[in-house]
Structure 1
Amino acid sequence: MAEMNTDRLVETISALEAWLDRTEGRRRLLPLRWAGRALLVGVVLLSNVVALARWPFAALARRLGEDPAVGETGKAPASSGSRPDVPTDKPLDVDGEELSRLIDSGRRVLVDFWAEWCGPCLMMEGLLEEFAESSGKECLLAKVNTGAHGDLAEEHGVNGLPTLILFENGEEVRRHVGTLSRAELESFVEGGEASSGP
């Protein structure tokens, strides 16, 4: 239920952003445009406050061996890109070596660069778990916690969170910075959405 409401919220925010882009330069809509921008800022601030409040609990859960963002194990197996018995229906929490192995495997890999303190990242959490379950062997989902692996974020040119990068045959094919609704995520993975970011 929460994922459904989050998805609806993301769709509404996306629609508001599109409306703001379409009405750029229309003076008579200026008060509405300012209210729309204020609403967007408010949603981002609120989601970040929620994420910051959740952060200590997530860190404690991770120390106890159960990171709510990556499942019960808290870590992907070291050879996740090469072993056939690795579950492909769950997000894989990876470090630099594991990420390189997955990308170089030639498989389709969607990499989610996120952080515990990032509200929009938390908004995407449930949707990405559902994506991992439904895409199975067609596209693996790797998660990079930029708090723990800032060097990977820098190496891949990640300047904003969340950032999704799709790799095919070892090459980056698309990237998106920000939240996506379910339909937008499906379109992004299938190639229907223009990439954003650098």
Structure 2
Amino acid sequence: MALIVEDGSGKPDAESYISTADADAYHLRFGNTGWAAMTTGDKEVCLRRSTAYIDAVFNGKWKGQQSFPGLQGLNWPRRYVVVEGDPPDYWNILTKSPGFIVPDNVVPKAIVDAAAIVGASAFGITDPLLPPIPPTANVKSEKFVVGPIENSVTYADNDGTIRDLTTRFPMLELKLRPYLTTGAGDGAAILLLERA
């Protein structure tokens, strides 16, 4: 089954933010030879999974709102998204700072690139400079008592969020930060957990 790529029109059946051809070009630019060795079918599966991951982890954390609420299949495209900073061709009167408005029929390059990054990781290909951080890297201490059964886990950042339990992608978080609401660029707190 052919991969259905979001093109900015808000497709209800979109499955990916990036096509296999564009992902091939991205990985070729960065020398990810493992990606080129994959079959087209495997690439499509990885890109579907990466887009689903991005939408699940950052759902509710994006700036703006969907361009076609209730109709589009993915979180992007979005409207009312203002990215602060360069280029200073737009002056945000609310924050009194330079920035630009993302057109409501565009999936930004950062989101497209993020889908390529996570797609490769879904097949075990990672960036050696900013590799994914496994959930076990966040564990600071563990405590187990057998009777009457007690379990305690302390995480390094100790904020009790879903990022303590999932693999984190530093490159992804850095690329997506300008498109996220304040405080959501570090993996986003989307679930509080309590352990007995």
Q: TM-score range by the shorter chain?
A: under 0.3
- Could you say which structure has the higher helix fraction? 1
Larger Rg: 2
After TM superposition, the score normalised by the length of structure 1 is 0.26
